[in-house]
Chain A
Amino acid sequence: EIVLTQSPGTLSLSPGERATLSCRASQRVSSNYLAWYQQKPGQAPRLLMTGASSRATGIPDRFSGSGSGTDFTLTISRLEPEDFAVYYCQQYGSSPPLTFGGGTKVEIK
């Protein structure tokens, strides 16, 4: 089973700042099959990125993903008020099981 470790646990930033979220895998993620999700309180997760770097439909271009192998990054270039949420990475290259990272909370400073 691939273990995903996200860091930091919490990111305190102001609107307009850049957010950099990390996701590290315990072994290589097959075909870079890594997704990112955003979750707001009381809502289901929302797909942001697939294949490590492809934005899902309707996701604004201030969101970008990068990385390969075992190290992946989600970057939000300029935080908008609606971007404050919890972000999860998930690998789907080696399944079952699908595995998720523990999440990074992006909060308003």
Chain B
Amino acid sequence: QVQLVQSGAEVKKPGSSVKVSCMSSGGTFNSYTISWVRQAPGQGLEWMGKIIPVLSVANYAQRFQGRVTITADTSTSTVYMELTSLRSEDTAVYYCARGGGRVWLDPWGQGTLVTVSS
């Protein structure tokens, strides 16, 4: 059974970058897609992008193009999401989840709170 475990909470200054990790256990890492979804405080869910680890091919939501990079390390079954030029509006819980493309999202990681504050 696939489980996704994310890195811990981060506090960042405006203008800086954050890199969140998502480690997979169980299942066959190379055979599925991993997506990143974020949720601002009290708000809904927003898909950011996805990667197919075996191909290292990533797709991003248009509004994050140029600011987000999703990468994968197949040797450690870990996917990373880096967001640059952080602003206060990027304060959110960031989730990784298996799926994307034409597949639903399941399971989800536990979430990583990123706080952007001066």
A contact residues vs B (CB 8 Å cutoff): 30-31, 33, 35, 37, 44-47, 50, 56, 88, 90, 92-93, 95-103
Given the complex of chains A and B, what is the CA–CA distance between A15 and B32 in angstroms?
39
B contact residues vs A (CB 8 Å cutoff): 35, 37, 44-47, 49-50, 59-62, 95, 97, 99-111
A45 and B102 within 8 A (CB): no
- Give the residue name and chain of the A residue nearest to B50 (CB): A96
Besides the contacts A37-B105, A90-B105, what 10 more A-B pairs have beta carbons closer than 8 Å? A31-B102, A44-B109, A50-B104, A90-B45, A90-B104, A95-B59, A96-B59, A97-B61, A97-B62, A100-B37
A92 and B95 within 8 A (CB): no
A99 and B47 within 8 A (CB): yes
Partner of A100, one of B46, B101, B111: B46
Give the number of residue pairs across the A-B interface with Cβ within 8 Å. Answer: 68
B100 and A44 within 8 A (CB): no
Residues of chain B with a CB closer than 8 A to A93's CB:
102
Residues of chain B with a CB closer than 8 A to A102's CB:
44
Partner of B44, one of A44, A47, A88, A97: A88
A33 and B102 within 8 A (CB): yes
Given the complex of chains A and B, what is the CA–CA distance between A95 and B50 in angstroms?
10
Residues of chain B with a CB closer than 8 A to A97's CB:
47, 61-62
Nearest Cβ distance between residue A91 and chain B, in whole angstroms? 10
A92 and B61 within 8 A (CB): no
Partner of A92, one of B44, B46, B100, B107: B100
